[in-house]
Amino acid sequence: MNTIGHFQYVCMKTNRFLSNADCSPLKKMQRLMHTEHNNLRKPSSRVEPVPARRASLACVAALLLAGCSGDTHLSFLDPQGPVASAQRWHFVEALAVLVVFVAIPVFAITPWILWRYRYGAKSSRYTPNWNFYGPLEIASWAGPVVIVVLLAIIVWRDTHALDPYKPLASDQPALRVQVIGYDWKWLFIYPDQGIASIGVFALPAGRPVAMQLTSATVMQSLHIPALGSQIYAMGGMVTQLHLQADRPGRSLGENNMYNGNGFHQQRFTAVAMTPEGFDAWASEVRSSGIALNEQILKVISQRSTRAELNAALSQPRSPDGNFYFSGATAALFPAVVMATMGGTMVAPAKAPQEPANTAAPAARKPAAPATEKVQ
C-alpha cells in the first residue's frame, strides 16, 4: 500500500504544471493523498476504510492518470478527437464566410455613408426622394441569397457527416458505453467490461465510443466539448452519441441543461488512455470497484452532488472523489429506462420546507405501473 501510495505521490509532485483546479482529479487526489498520509501517520478517531481496498482504488485513479498530462481540454477549439476537430473546422469555415461577406462590407460601408452623407456635408449629393434603384435592390437580395446557399451546402454536408447518431468510421469496433443522467452526476456503464464509473469517463484513445444515453430524472445534456457533440438525455428515452479521442488526455465533461442546485457540479473528466492503459484500468476497476447493486443504485439516484454521494455511500471509495463500480451489467441501462417510464424510479427527496398539503404524487399514480415499451 505504502509503496503504491508513495509512488503516486511522487508522480503528483512532479506534475507541477497541472494547475487546473477542480476538474483535474490530480489536484483532488493530491489533497486526498495528503490526508491519507496524515491519517497513516497519526492515529485517527475516524473509522478507517479497509486499507487494501482503498489502495486498489488509488491504483485505479493512478491508471487514469498514467500517460495523460497537461491541462484539461475545455473547448472544441482545442479538439481532442475527430468530431470536435471537424466541428472546429466547420466553425472557422462558416465564421470566415460570414465575416468576409457579411460583416466586413457592412462595417466598412456604413461609416463611409455616415461620414459622406452627414448633415453638415452640404456638398455631398442629396436625393431626398430617391427610393428605388433596381440593380441595387437586386444586389441587396442576391448577396444574402448567395451566402445562404453557400452555407446551406456546408450545413447539409456537415450535418450528415457529423450526425451524433452516426457510428464513426474506424477499423476498430466501437466501445459500448451506456450513460445514465442522475441529479447531479453521470453514471457511465461499460457493459462489455462489466464496470461503471461516476465522475470519470475513461475511454481508449483511437477507438470510437458508441454511447447510449438516458436520464433517470429530468432532461440533461451530456457534453464533452473537446471530443464532440452534446446530446440530450431524457427519462424513458434513449439517445445516442458517437465520440472518439485521438490521443491520451483529459477533457472537460459536463451537463449543459439546468437541472437544479447541483447543476454546476455535474461535471466529469473524460480521460482518454492508451488501449493498454484502458484495459488495465478496466480490469483494476473490475477487481476493486464497489459492487453496483440495487442498494447502491438507490443511493446514486438520490438528488446529490458527487460530494454528497460520497457522504451517503458507506463503501470505500476512490481517493480522487470519483466512484468506480464493478458488477455492472448490460441489463442495468434498459432497466433504468423502463423504471423511469413506469414511474417506479426512486423519486427525488422532497424538499423538506414544502408544506405537507401538496398532493403527494404517489397517491395519484395508478396501482399497476406500466412497463411495456420503450419509445
Partner 1 sequence: MNYEAIKHPGLNLGSAHGRDHDAAEGMVFGFWVFLMSDAILFSMVFATYVTSVGATAGGPGPHELYDIKSVFIETLLLLASSFTFGMASLALKYKHGTARLIGWLAVTLVLGVAFLGFELHDFASMFSKGAVPSRSGFLSAFFDLVPLHGLHVTGGSIWLICLVGQIAMYGVDTQVKLGLMRLALFWHFLDIVWIAIFSVVYLAGLT
Partner 2 sequence: MNLSDILQQPLGRMSPESLPFWQMLHDPTEGNVINGVIATGAASMVVIGAIIAVALITKYRKWGVLWSEWLTSPDHKKIGIMYVVLAFVMLTRALIEAALMRSQQAFGLGGGFLSPEHFAQLFSTHGTIMIFFVAMPFLTGVINYAMPLQIGARDVSFPVLNSISLGLTAAGAALVMISLCIGKFSTGGWFGYPPYTEASFSPGVGPDYWIWALTLASLASTLSGINFAVTIYKERAPGMKLMYMPLFTWTALCTSIIMIFAMPPLTVATAQLALDRYLGFHYFTNEFGGNMMHFVNLFWLFGHPEVYILVLPSFGVYSQVISTFSGKALFGYRSMVMATTAIAILSFGVWLHHFFTMGQNANINAVFGIASMLIGIPTGVKVYDWMWTMFRGRVRFTVPLIYSIGFIYLFVLGGITGILLANPTIDYQVHNTVFLVAHFHNVAIPGALFGLLAGYHFWFPKAFGFRLNERLGMVSAICWIFGFMLAFFPLYALGLMGLPRRSVAYNEPSYVPLEIAAFLGAILLTVALVTLVVQLWVSIKHRDENRVFVGDPWDGRSLEWSVSAPPPEYNFAVIPVVTGRDAFTIAKEAGNAYQLPDTYADIEVPKNSAMGPVLGAIGLALAFGLVWHIWWMVILFFAAAVVTMIVHGFARDTNRIVPAQQVRQEHRRWFDAVAAAKAISREDERKSANQGLAEQALPGVPA
> Considering only residues 316-355, where is the footprint of partner 1 by CB under 8 A?
341-342
- Beta carbon of residue 167, minimum distance to partner 1 (angstroms, whole number): 29
Give 234 or 272: the residue with its C-beta nearer to partner 1: 234
* Least Å from the CB of residue 204 to partner 2: 23
366 interacts with partner 1 by CB under 8 A: yes
Q: What is the 3-state secondary structure of 268-281?
A: EEEEEECHHHHHHH
| Of 155 and 312, CB closest to partner 2 | 155
CB of 10 to partner 2, least distance (A): 26
Tell me if 368 contacts partner 1 by CB under 8 A.
Answer: yes
Within 164-219, strands assigned E span 175-182, 185-190, 195-198, 200-204, 209-215
Q: Give yes or no for residue 371 binding partner 1 (CB under 8 A).
A: yes
Residue with smaller CB distance to partner 1, 239 or 304: 239
Q: Choose the contact partner of 327 out of partner 2, partner 1, none; CB within 5 to 8 A by kind.
A: none
190 and 176 Cβ atoms separated by less than 8 Å: yes
Cell of 202: 475513461
Q: Is 294 in the site for partner 1 (CB under 8 A)?
A: no
Closer residue to partner 2 in complex, CB, 45/127: 127
The binder of 368, among partner 1, partner 2, none, by C-beta within 5 to 8 A per type, is partner 1
By a kind-dependent CB cut-off of 5 to 8 A, residue 280 interacts, out of partner 1, partner 2, none, with none
R_g over Cα of the chain: 27
Q: Rule CB under 8 A: is residue 362 a binding residue for partner 1?
A: no
- From the list partner 2, partner 1, none, which binds 47 (C-beta under 5 to 8 Å, kind-based)? none
50 binds, among partner 2, partner 1, none (CB under 5 to 8 A by kind): none
Residue 163 to residue 168: CA distance in whole angstroms: 10
The strand order across the sheet containing 249-255 reads: 200-204, 267-273, 249-255, 220-223, 230-233
Q: Read off the amino acid at residue 242.
A: H
Residue number with CB closer to partner 2 (302 or 315): 302
Burial class of residue 216 (count of CB atoms within 10 Å of its CB; 0-12, 13-18, 19+): buried
372 contacts partner 1 (rule: CB under 8 A): yes
**Separation between Cα atoms, residue 346 and residue 341, nearest integer Å:** 12
Residue written as grid cell 483529459 = 250
- Name the one residue in this structure whose C-alpha cell is 503528483: 12
Please give the Cα distance from 37 to 4 (Å, whole number): 12
The nearest distance, CB 190 to partner 1, in angstroms, is 31
Give 257's contacts (C-beta < 8 A, 6+ positions apart): 218, 219, 220, 221, 232
- Nearer to partner 2 among residue 76 and residue 190 (C-beta): 76
Q: Which does 95 bind (CB under 5 to 8 A by kind): partner 1, partner 2, none?
A: partner 2
Work out how close the CB of 364 gets to partner 1 at its nearest, in angstroms, rounded to a whole number.
5
Interacting residue with partner 1 among 92, 100, 370, 374 (CB under 8 A): 370
- Cβ distance to partner 1 smaller for residue 69 or 371: 371
Nearer Cβ to partner 1 (247/365) = 365
**Is 364 one of the binding residues for partner 1 (CB under 8 A)?**
yes
CA distance 122 to 179: 69
Distance between CA atoms of 181 and 221, rounded to whole angstroms?
9
Closer to partner 1 by Cβ: residue 352 or 366: 366
Q: How many residues bind partner 1 (CB under 8 A)?
A: 10
Decide if residue 365 touches partner 1 (CB under 8 A): yes
In the numeric block, which cell numbers belong to residue 117?
452623407
| Distance from C-alpha of 187 to C-alpha of 217, rounded to nearest angstrom | 13
Q: Specify the DSSP element, H or E, that contains 241.
A: strand 239-243
The footprint of partner 1 (CB under 8 A) covers 341-342, 364-366, 368-372
